[in-house]
Chains A and B, each alone.
Chain A
Amino acid sequence: MTIEQHQHVTNVARDVVFNESDHSRPGEQVDTKTVGQVTVEAPVITARHVNVHYSEKHAIKDVSIDVARNSVIAFIGPSGCGKSTFLRCINRMNDTIPNAKVSGSIQLDGIDIYDRSQDIVQLRARVGMVFQKPNPFPKSIYENVAYGPRIHGLAGNRADLDEIVQTSLRKAGLWEEVKDRLDNPGTGLSGGQQQRLCIARAIAVDPEVILMDEPCSALDPIATAKVEDLIDELRENYAIVIVTHSMQQAARVSQRTAYFHLGDLIEVGPTEQIFTNPRHKLTEDYITGRFG
């Protein structure tokens, strides 16, 4: 798809949304098949009619959803349903996949991130990402955390940078474990420590939104608990989108839950309600373990 076409689709999609009502108002009527409450008050992210194609494969089908500030939303659903794909739309990581085509509109604070004027570097500084597999840079622990502030010019001098590194590692709950070996390679840490290092790296640039793709899938229960506590603390300052296969985890850390199924967003709602009283049959099947 060319940029022009993309713009066209974006505009059409936006027209549909705007014609219905102002999306920032609660109770907005969005033209969607999704069951539940897709909109929230004063959302940080507003996705409308997002479609993703990998060549012929239609991986995300007309998904509309809001992400609220200072809260955690969990994406759940069977493997291959498009959770990661949708997550990667939010910081445009899908741009790096040559055959992936995204259409629709995703707004961050009311600005379309797929707009031509949107700087992708700036976007990714505002929307941080933690990947499923811990992927620290093969550099020192210090360099790992300092990398983001350094490329974005956030620290004026070495002392500022030291400060940022320390606070980020503290927030990620890793400081006590690594403060004496900041010069050791980040790849030499344990899996759980590496994942917390990646979280520290992501929050070092002080983003508005943090995307986490199954951050605990490689971790033991203790490390998982630490990361979950961390997510709960981070919620005070950031909006967090987390993909998880663990129902318990979704229930523990999130305020809202979204259920994806074969590229469709089936149901969104308060976590409590989704787990106790799902409104859609597919959601219920999945929650109760009747699905694959």
Chain B
Amino acid sequence: MTKTAMAMTTTQARVAASLRRRYAAEMRFRAYGILAICIGLAFVAFLFTSIISKGYTSFQQTYIALDIDYSAELIDPEGTRAAQTLQAADYEAVIKASLKEQFPEVEGRASLRHLYGMISNAGEQLLRDRVVAKPSLIGTHERVWLLADDHVDTFFKGQIDRKLPESDRPISDEEIVWVDQWKAQHRAELRFNTAFFTTGDSREPEQAGVAGALAGSALTLLVTLLLSFPIGVAAAIYLEEFAPRNVWTDIIEVNINNLAAVPSIVFGLLGLAMFIQFFGMPRSAPLVGGLVLSLMTLPTIIIAGRASLKAVPPSIREAALGMGASRVQMVAHHVLPLALPGMLTGTIIGMARALGESAPLLMIGMVAFIVDVPHSLSDPSTVLPVQIYLWARSPERAFVERTSGAIMVLLGFLLVMNAVAVILRNRFERRWS
């Protein structure tokens, strides 16, 4: 064996030995990675199962069928059929009468109060609307499905153990008997809870919905997006492409980076002092909420925007300038289209954070109890995370499932928002490459 050949074999042996070590390191690294991903997935799965298992029941609600006697005596004793009379009539009495008719054996103040409490007081409004819309109903009988009260609903969904002693559960023995009776007669059933998506908050859990908070969140985010996206993108472009590099731009850069790290509640205080106290804007309004969240989102968008502008290869800029494009043309025709997907990603991150934000909005009064669904930017409203917080604090058992239900709605909102952004981004990427 020649000298070089020997050297070769020892080198190869060394390489072989080191190879084994390198592969082992690589395997270990991969195992760690897979482990980390599994742990992350497990947490996500745990979170989702816990929320969904608790919350899916909020999408259903117990309804009771009652034979309603639209008695002329109770609704319109004088027979005028005047709209005012129909509006003002005592429909609670109508419901009570039909309950009494169904359970004639119920006696005593306490039992009657229990019986009347089985039906949600939303029923009155339903009957009023029906009669006002169609006065000819007066004097007739009709089977109407009415919303059950929240404790009946909770029991009917099996969330209350009937073996508990009576004093430990929110539903009494006689009420359980009535519910069982209704069930046997097919007069009680779970229906899809449309009201959850169409009504605002309520003191009565069975009538409380997320529509108010959903609309509030949507309006607030609309303001945030309309303000922070154009301003953020413009600021990023100016700082990255046009601004001279000097002390001032350095100071601005440091400040923007710091702003991104400021606790959000500070922005709430700023919004309170500036928008509400100084400029006199309305409290609890999506407009102010959006302004505050824009302040918070702007740094994120600017930083992401600058990063994606930086990532555009300089050769593209040179090509454009070399063709005689002006700086603005270079940015508008070549750099921005390439940077836009990255900017959209940054915007989505900022918007997702804004959607989940509650602390700064508490400061500007978006935590008030608001029943009406907001229709304009200055209507008082609340937002989903604050609504979740409010319900989570409520003592009624029925609010627990609504809390989880609202979280599901929030996650759904987030998913839709992300999906829209991804679609937009893909469209841009396809158009420009």
Q: Which residues of A contact B (CB under 8 A)?
A: 91, 93, 96, 98, 121-125, 128-129, 131, 133, 135-139, 147-148, 151-152, 185, 187, 198, 201-202, 205
Contact = CB atoms under 8 A, between A and B. Distances in A.
A137 B316 contact: yes
B338 interface: yes
B323 interface: yes
Contacts of A93: 318, 321-322
Contacts of A198: 319
B433 A148 contact: no
Residue of B245, B324, B326, B338 with highest tally of chain A CB at under 10 A:
B324
B314 to A, nearest CB: 9
B318 A148 contact: no
Residue of A124, A128, A133, A198 with highest tally of chain B CB at under 10 A:
A124
B321 A147 contact: no
Nearest to A138: B433
B322 A128 contact: yes
B323 A135 contact: no
A98 B245 contact: yes
Contact of B319 (A98, A121, A136): A136
Given A98-B245, A151-B329, A135 B324 contact: no
Contact of B325 (A98, A133, A135, A151): A151
A137 B315 contact: no
B334 interface: yes
B326 A121 contact: yes
Contacts of A137: 316, 319-320, 334
Interface in B202-237: none
Given A98-B245, A137-B334, A147-B333, A152 B319 contact: no
Nearest to A122: B324
Interface of B: 245, 313, 315-326, 329, 333-334, 338, 432-433
B329 A185 contact: no
Contacts of A148: 323-324
A96 B321 contact: yes
18 contacts: A93-B321, A96-B321, A98-B245, A124-B323, A131-B315, A131-B318, A133-B315, A135-B318, A135-B319, A138-B338, A138-B432, A139-B432, A148-B323, A148-B324, A151-B323, A151-B333, A152-B324, A201-B319
A124 B321 contact: yes
A135 B315 contact: yes
Contacts of A139: 432
Given A122-B324, A148-B323, 14 more contacts: A96-B318, A124-B321, A125-B323, A128-B322, A129-B322, A131-B315, A131-B319, A135-B319, A138-B316, A138-B338, A138-B433, A151-B323, A151-B324, A201-B319
B345 to A, nearest CB: 18
Contacts of B318: 93, 96, 131, 135
Nearest to B320: A137
A185 B324 contact: no
Contacts of B320: 137
Contacts of B432: 138-139
A201 B323 contact: yes
Nearest to A129: B322
A180 B296 CA distance: 51
A198 B315 CA distance: 12
A152 B432 CA distance: 22
Contacts of B315: 131, 133, 135
Contacts of B317: 96
B169 to A, nearest CB: 67
Nearest to A121: B324
Contacts of B316: 135, 137-138
B324 to A, nearest CB: 4
A131 B322 CA distance: 9
Nearest to B334: A137
Residue of B245, B333, B338 with highest tally of chain A CB at under 10 A:
B333
Given A133-B315, A138-B316, A138-B433, A124 B334 contact: no
B244 to A, nearest CB: 8
A128 B315 CA distance: 15
Given A98-B245, A133-B315, A187 B321 contact: no
A202 B320 CA distance: 11
B329 to A, nearest CB: 6
Nearest to B323: A148
A287 B318 CA distance: 32
**Smallest CB-CB A-B distances: 10 pairs:** A124-B324, A135-B315, A129-B322, A125-B324, A135-B319, A148-B323, A138-B433, A121-B324, A121-B326, A151-B325
Nearest to A125: B324
Contacts of A129: 322
Contact of B433 (A96, A151, A152, A187): A187
Contacts of B324: 121-125, 148, 151-152, 205
Residue of B316, B321, B433 with highest tally of chain A CB at under 10 A:
B321
A185 B319 CA distance: 16
B322 A91 contact: yes
Nearest to B431: A139
Contacts of B325: 121, 147, 151
Contacts of A121: 324-326
Contacts of A124: 321-324
A93 B330 CA distance: 14
Contacts of A135: 313, 315-316, 318-319
A205 B433 contact: no
A208 to B, nearest CB: 13
B428 to A, nearest CB: 12
Nearest to B321: A96
B52 to A, nearest CB: 43
A185 B433 contact: yes
A66 to B, nearest CB: 23
